Structure formats: C-alpha cells, structure tokens
Structure 1
Amino acid sequence: MIQFSLEYAEKNFEEILKLALSDKEIVIPAGRGKNIKISSEKPKKIQISSKKIYSIDNLYASTLQMKNPPFISNEKLPRTVANIRNQLFFEAKKYPDRAFDGLYRFLHNPDILKASLERIFFKHSGAKVAKEIQSKTYRDFLSEIKQELESRKYKPQFSKQIFFPKKEEGAFREISLYDLKDKVIQTSFYLVLEPLFEAKFLDCSYGFRSGRTRDDAALSLKKYIRSGHTFIYDADIRSCFDSIPHKPLVNITNKRIADKHVLEVLETILAAPKRENEFSMEKRELSRGIPQGGILSPLLANIYLHEFDNFFYSKNAVLKATHSRMLRYADDFVVASRHHTEEQIKLINDYLNNELLLDIHPDKTRLVNLKQEGERVNFLGYSISLSDKNSHSSIQISPANSAIEKEKERLSVLLYDTYKNADIPELLEIVLERLESWRNQYKLSKKDYMYKPLYDYIQTELTQILRYRMAGFRQSGDDEPNGIVL
C-alpha cells in the first residue's frame, strides 16, 4: 500500500492513476478521518468514506477534488479498451505538445473494433445492425474490417444524403448516412483519437464532450454575468460543419497526430464521395465540410474550433482589457465582457474569417447589454436576463421562446398525428409525460410559471379536441363519452 498527501495527488494524478492500474493500492488522506482509496481490485473503484463511491472508469481525477479535472468517459467499454484510452489520455496530458506516432495499430485492434461494433449495436437497433451484416458472423465481419485496415486498402463507401429544412426559407441541413463498416471504422477512430485531443481541450468548450452538458455551459454564463460580465456577444458560425476546410483541419490534426497512416485514412474519410440517394450514381467530392451525421464529425469540429479557443485565451491585449470570457458549445458561442469595444468584435470575427476561413452568421449574431431594459440573451435553448437591471446578481433563466415554440410543434404532432385516435385521458397522460420530460431538459428554469405557455397550449388543444369529438358523437347519435375536466 502506498500513501500520498491530497496536495501531491492533485498535482500528480497521472502518476497515481498509473500506479493504480499497475496493481498498486493507493491511499490518500482526505481530512476528517476520511481516506481516498484507489485499488486495482475488480471492479476498480475510488472510495471516500463508506457513502461515496466512484467508478474509476469515469476518470477518477475528479474524486481527487481537482478544480477542473479532465474527463474521458469509458462507460460500457471493456477493460482492455478503457486501459488503452486511459494510457493515451495520460500520455497526452503529460506531453501537451507531443505529436503521437504508432497509433494506427490501435485502429485495427480487435478489442477496439469489437467495442466499436457493440457501441453501434446498443445505440441503434440491434436487429438493423444484424441485417446489415446479413449472413456473416460478427467475428467474420470484424475480421474483414481488420484485414482491410491492416492492408491499408480501406475506402469509404458512398454516403447517402438526406435533407432537413432549416428555419431560413429554402435552406436545408444535410445529414450523411453511412453503412455499418464505415460506422465501425469511424467509431474506432473516435475511441483512439478522443483521449489525445480531450487532454488539450480548454474548459470553455462544452459541446460533444464527456462530462460536460448544455446546462454546465449555461451555468458558467450565469456565473460570468453575476461577476459583472453583462455585455454579451452572442454569435453563431454560419454553416460551420459544412464550411470547415479539409486541408487546414488535417494540418491542425497533424500537430497532435504524427502517424501518417492515421492521417491518410482521415483524409480518405473526409473526401468520401456523396450521392443524393441510393439510386443516384452522381457523386460529389468536396474539399470542405465535415459530414453531419458522421460519428467522427463532432470531435473533428472541436479539434478545428479548439484553435479559436486557444486564440481567444492567448495573451491578447484587447480581450484582456475588456475582461472577456468565452463559452463555446460546438459552433454556438458567447463572449461575456465587463466592457465592450468594437475592436473586440472585429478581432474575433477577423480571426474566424481570415485564419479559420469561417463566417459569422449576421442574422443569428447580436450584442446584448443585459443592464438595458428588456434585453436578454438566448443561449442553448435558455433565455437569460437580469430581473433587476441595477444588480448583475439578479439573474433569471427560463426556456427561450424558440424552445417553447419548437416543443409546441412536437406536441402538435403527438396530438393530431401520432396519437390522434387515443382517448382523452390517455392523450392527457401522454402529453403530460412529454412535458415532464421537456421540463427535465430545462431544469435550470426552476419557476413553475415559466412553463405556463406550454400548459396553456395543452389545455387549449385538448379542449378543442374534446369539443370536436363531442360534436361528432352528437351528429352520429352515439352515447356521449365520459367527460373530463381540464
């Protein structure tokens, strides 16, 4: 058994966790008679007293009471794969400027390929996955992928494109659909690359990262506003996923990945041909854009936009003078400042435009002074404002109007399409269950009156449905159904 002080543990968590993985039992005094125990016994756990137990696989550093612990999630991954990912993460954390080589062998590692298929199997319909494999066994299917990667003959298949309308008239969001083999290989890439880049990502980035949620980002903005950062630059990058150029993205990735075989496959995935549907023979090859719907795409977007995060928090005199703080959730970001200057906004926009070749969406971008009457900022589905304009600590968080309207549309589909033949009590139960689920998504809004627009909408629509059905019964001469009080 080895003992460390809590202070030492906080500064040297990589060393301690490596010791734990190598069958050493670690004990760290945590004060008041409590110990943190790290043991290699299965299942591996960290224990603080008898009441608080944490899974080692969800990155135990957080248990060591670090201020902003790094985090990778190995949930539902086998021990062999979790160990590989942890080792990559610790090495990347220890050597933040190193470009890692020798990674390609992990991509066709049998355990990682099997874990990749299992992840897809659990995320999607197991029957659908089995149908794609058809007559092959899972072992044969994975063996083929392994051989294809080992021989470096892998070529992605055509991805099928589907289009969803956006709010802007005539605009569509393009989603790529991949076959099972491509999904497995992309997942394998994700499992290997994520720990290396996660070790470098900054705390200001929240989107598509383990252990970081939309609510965490909103709470961070609330904290900045409370400390006097009431000038908010609320910005949106125009068609970000479709606009990221391939060559600069690969060059940025190359700073961390020195393995040329990994980079070659990454370029192949990015340049994979697309077609409009399964019957179309026309293919499109693009030099920009990462496919929405791709398993790797959120990670690639964060890798590219990490350059912006670094730029923002570098030693820049203008941003430092305005006491600016930035929060980014994928391509949606806000800058909170104590003071505002036009030079500040120009600096941000010029960097995105000139260095990253990305544009700010003018219709979705605005500057807000929360101390002005009626001003509020909409961020990640929340509307944030000051209830007392003379105090930056009186912060009110509620669901944004756009989020409420979107939920009304979903409720309308439930009422008039999906469950149109359900009786009224059943319909009421369904929509109230849906509303409770929606409230849980917006749990930072703690005042009941903030949900009143949706309750009013449900009551109005159910009353209308009940009247319509009652009128139908009267015309048909049937007995009236049992009434319901709304």
Structure 2
Amino acid sequence: MSKLLDKILSRENMLEAYNQVKSNKGSAGIDGMTIEEMDNYLRQNWRLTKELIKQRKYKPQPVLRVEIPKPDGGIRQLGIPTVMDRMIQQAIVQVMSPICEPHFSDTSYGFRPNRSCEKAIMKLLEYLNDGYEWIVDIDLEKFFDTVPQDRLMSLVHNIIEDGDTESLIRKYLHSGVIINGQRYKTLVGTPQGGNLSPLLSNIMLNELDKELEKRGLRFVRYADDCVITVGSEAASKRVMYSVSRFIEKRLGLKVNMTKTKITRPRELKYLGFGFWKSSDGWKSRPHQDSVRRFKFKLKKLTQRKWSIDLTRRIEQLNLSIRGWINYFSLGNMKSIVASIDERLRTRLRVIIWKQWKKKSRRLWGLLKLGVPKWIADKVSGWGDHYQLVSQKSVLKRAISKPVLEKRGLVSCLDYYLERHALKVS
C-alpha cells in the first residue's frame, strides 16, 4: 500500500472525514443507510472495508440519481453516494486537496480553502474597474456529465503519481448510477453530489486556467462558471472563439455556443450577482432574478393558509433572511432590502390579524399593544379585509418594526447594514 493511501486510511483522517459527513447530514444512498446508522455499520465492517481498499478490491456502490429543480425552471441531476462512500471520498479529498492547491490558479475560487463566491465577485469588480468591460461568459454544456475520464485521470496522475489512490478514484468514476431502479454505467463524467467531484472538476479545469494565464487574459472561475474580461468588443470575439476551441479540442469538453456569449457588465449575471456603475466605479448587487426568488421564498413563508405559530414562522424567516443576506452582503442593496422589509412586515400584520380572528380577540390584542381603547374598539370591527387592514396607519403603528423585533424578527435592512459594514471596512 502506498504512503498516500495509508495517509488517506489513517485513523485520524478517517475520523475527520466521518465527522464531516455526519455534520453535512444528507440523504441515504441506494443501500438506504442513514447517517445515524453509520456508527454501528462501521464498527462491524470498517476493518474489512479498509482491507479491501488496500488490496484494490473495494467496489463503491452506484450513486442514486435524483433530480433537483433549478431556480430558472430547469432540472439539475445529482448523484447521492452511500454514506460509506461519502466518507471514503471525503477522506481522499482531505489528503489530496493540500497536494493539489499549489497547482491551482489564484483566480479559481470554487470549492477551495479560504476562497468563496464573494472573493470571485471582488476579483471580477477589480477587472471591471480596471477598464476591462467586455465579458466573455463561457457556458460548459453538462460539464459534470461530459468530463473525459481518461484525460481527467491523466491530470490526477500528474499531480499525485500514486497508483493505489488513482485506482480508487477511477472506481468511483466507474461506480455507475441508479435511475428509476435501473443501473447504468458511467464511463464519462464525474457525478454531481459526490464529495470528490468538486476537487476533480478543479483538476480538470485547471488546464483551462493555465491556458488563460498563458495568454495573459483576466478571468474568474468558480467551479465550471467562468468569465473572461477584455478591453474591446473585437478582442472579446477573438477570445470567445479561440477559448471555446481550446476547451473542445484540448480538454474534450463541450461548449454550449447558444449560451456562451459576449456581454457587458450591466447584462451579466454571475454567481447570482448583477453589476451597475456608480460615480466611483462598478459595484455589485443581487441580480434581479436572485431578488425575485428571495421575495418568492418569503412569500411562501408568509402564506396565511400555512398553519404554523408566529414564533416558528419567524424562525424560518430569520434563517432565510440571514442566509440570503450573508451571501449577498458584499453588494450594494440598501434600497432592495428596505423594500423587502416593508413588504414582509405588511404580510406579517395580515397573518397576526387573521390569527386574532374574532373581534374580541382583536380588541384584546390591540389594547395589549398600547392602542387607545376608543381606537381599538373601532379597528377591531374592521373584519377580514386583510390587505386593506394591514395598510392602515393604526395597525402599522401597533404592529411596528420594534414590535416585530421583540417577537424575534430580523430586520433585513439592519442585518444587511451590519454585514455590509464588515465587508467594506
């Protein structure tokens, strides 16, 4: 057994991989084993599994193919490995990543230590503000499903030069997929959803990074999302066609020429961000599609027909608010979140008014909020015209921002200003 595989299978590394898989949770693979059931299974079977891996006799289980709706209405196909295979893949990644890192480009930001979507956007803004305002937006067609495995494994070998580990990785590539109960071979591609896939995608596309660097081009890549910034329309056309040719001829990947395009910053959507130019240069903010999806999510969480108490509803809202704002907090979006805040408070007033139901309950609720009795008597009889009632100034003052904050609601605007200040300081 090689030293590299020995390190992968070491107790310390496997324990770290186990804890990582456990914290990630996730669904069961084709064997039906859950994260909770893995402890007992490992106690009984890990020694045998480890020995099989050492002897190159271990056979990973096929991945379970599931379809996940995309925000744009399409379908993304994901593979769910078994929890055992997720743990082994994670163990490989933990040892291989530090070996691969020195080979990777500084402008590759996806699935790497101390890198993020946010840093990719910052680099892109740097290029735009340097005057490179023509953008080549490369779209790789079904990247994870079309990766040529022999080419990929050749690149893996160039980095690690370890037959035992390479054999195990290739077995994961060949493990197959279960679709609607039927098994299919996987002789091309690397399935999305596996712990290994992000690292393997970076190894494959690092060849693109090196080519772009050799040409002196300014680019940003996050996984298979790559944009190249150039100084003129004529140059952007040359770059688009020559880079597309390199990707197809040299890497064996497919460029979707109907989606690959030359665009300007204002028309670009990258990693969910849009771009606009202020008096002091280019800025980022959530793309209008990202804003629309977030509003729709909040709308679903504030449906009147959803029978859930207000405390739990606010907890769900806060999770969504914090997650969305944390992702986009680099962007300039004060007016966007202020508008969302106002609309959200209106919908919560509707919910509270509906939950009070009867006039007596509404009277009691208004009095408790400090509304004078003569006003509360009048307002409590307004009935079930929810939207109309929620817009009335008396209800806005009674169920105000401070009142909702006391109930635990996070203000989109306040949270954004707090997070944004940390990013620009």
Whether these two folds match at TM > 0.5 is: yes
Secondary structure at the counterpart of residue 161 of structure 1: strand
Q: CA deviation at 1:192?
A: 1.9
Structure of greater relative contact order (alpha carbons < 8 Å, 6+ residues apart): 2
Aligned AA (2:102): A
Q: 1:115 to 1:436 in 2, by over 3 A?
A: closer
1:105-131 CA distance string (max 9 Å, x none): 223223322222222223328994231
Aligned AA (1:130): E
Q: CA deviation at 1:413?
A: 3.3
1:162 aligns with 2:66: yes
Secondary structure at the counterpart of residue 256 of structure 1: helix
Residues 164 and 172, structure 1, Cα contact 8 Å, conserved in 2: yes
Q: CA deviation at 1:198?
A: 0.9
Q: 1:430 to 1:309 in 2, by over 3 A?
A: same
Residues 80 and 194, structure 2, Cα contact 8 Å, conserved in 1: yes
Secondary structure at the counterpart of residue 182 of structure 1: helix
The answer for the alignment partner of 2:113 in structure 1 is 210
* Alignment partner of 1:145 out of 39, 49, 53: 49
Q: Distance in 2 between matches of 1:439 and 1:253?
A: 37
Q: Distance in 1 between matches of 2:316 and 2:22?
A: 29
Q: 1:255 to 1:426 in 2, by over 3 A?
A: closer
The answer for the alignment partner of 2:229 in structure 1 is 336
Q: Distance in 2 between matches of 1:437 and 1:132?
A: 30
Q: CA deviation at 1:439?
A: 1.7
- What TM-score, normalized by structure 1, do the two folds share? 0.67
Q: Distance in 2 between matches of 1:360 and 1:287?
A: 20
Q: Distance in 2 between matches of 1:329 and 1:211?
A: 13
Secondary structure at the counterpart of residue 386 of structure 1: strand
Aligned AA (1:331): D
Q: CA deviation at 1:366?
A: 3.2
1:455 aligns with 2:313: no
Residues 271 and 285, structure 1, Cα contact 8 Å, conserved in 2: yes
The answer for the alignment partner of 1:115 in structure 2 is 16
Matches within 5 A, 1:188-199: 188-199=91-102
Residues 63 and 177, structure 2, Cα contact 8 Å, conserved in 1: yes
1:297 aligns with 2:197: yes
Aligned AA (2:24): K
Residues 242 and 290, structure 1, Cα contact 8 Å, conserved in 2: yes
Q: Distance in 2 between matches of 1:177 and 1:430?
A: 26
1:380 aligns with 2:271: yes
Aligned AA (1:296): L
- What TM-score, normalized by structure 2, do the two folds share? 0.76
The answer for the alignment partner of 2:281 in structure 1 is 394
Secondary structure at the counterpart of residue 79 of structure 2: strand
Q: Which runs of 5+ in 1 are unaligned?
A: 1-100
Most deviating of 451-460 and 332-341:
451-460
Residues 65 and 79, structure 2, Cα contact 8 Å, conserved in 1: yes
Residues 178 and 184, structure 2, Cα contact 8 Å, conserved in 1: yes
The answer for the alignment partner of 1:409 in structure 2 is 296
The share of aligned pairs that are identical, in percent, is 23
Aligned AA (1:444): L
1:227-261 CA distance string (max 9 Å, x none): 11111222332221122121211122121132222
The answer for the alignment partner of 1:359 in structure 2 is 254
Higher helix share: 2
Most deviating of 353-362 and 395-404:
353-362
Q: Which runs of 5+ in 2 are unaligned?
A: 28-32, 367-394, 401-425
1:367-397 CA distance string (max 9 Å, x none): 2234xxxx34222121112134xxxx42222
Matches within 5 A, 1:238-253: 238-253=141-156
The answer for the alignment partner of 2:125 in structure 1 is 222
1:47-94 CA distance string (max 9 Å, x none): xxxxxxxxxxxxxxxxxxxxxxxxxxxxxxxxxxxxxxxxxxxxxxxx
Residues 110 and 146, structure 1, Cα contact 8 Å, conserved in 2: no
* Alignment partner of 2:219 out of 326, 333, 342: 326
1:206-246 CA distance string (max 9 Å, x none): 00001001111111111111111111222332221122121
* Alignment partner of 2:6 out of 85, 100, 105: 105
Q: CA deviation at 1:364?
A: 4.3
Residues 131 and 231, structure 2, Cα contact 8 Å, conserved in 1: yes
Aligned AA (1:336): T
Q: CA deviation at 1:168?
A: 5.8
1:274-301 CA distance string (max 9 Å, x none): 1125xx2x21002212111100010000
The answer for the alignment partner of 1:442 in structure 2 is 328
* Equivalent residue pairs, number: 360
Residues 398 and 450, structure 1, Cα contact 8 Å, conserved in 2: no
Aligned AA (1:106): K
1:172 aligns with 2:75: yes
Most deviating of 198-207 and 144-153:
144-153
* Alignment partner of 2:37 out of 125, 128, 131: 131
The answer for the alignment partner of 1:61 in structure 2 is none
Q: Distance in 1 between matches of 2:256 and 2:338?
A: 32
Aligned AA (2:231): R
Q: CA deviation at 1:365?
A: 3.6
Q: Distance in 2 between matches of 1:453 and 1:343?
A: 43
Secondary structure at the counterpart of residue 303 of structure 2: helix
Residues 176 and 294, structure 1, Cα contact 8 Å, conserved in 2: yes
The answer for the alignment partner of 1:285 in structure 2 is 185
Q: 1:365 to 1:450 in 2, by over 3 A?
A: farther
The answer for the alignment partner of 2:391 in structure 1 is none
Aligned AA (1:455): D
Aligned AA (2:202): N
Q: 1:122 to 1:144 in 2, by over 3 A?
A: farther
Q: Distance in 2 between matches of 1:104 and 1:226?
A: 46
Residues 152 and 204, structure 2, Cα contact 8 Å, conserved in 1: yes
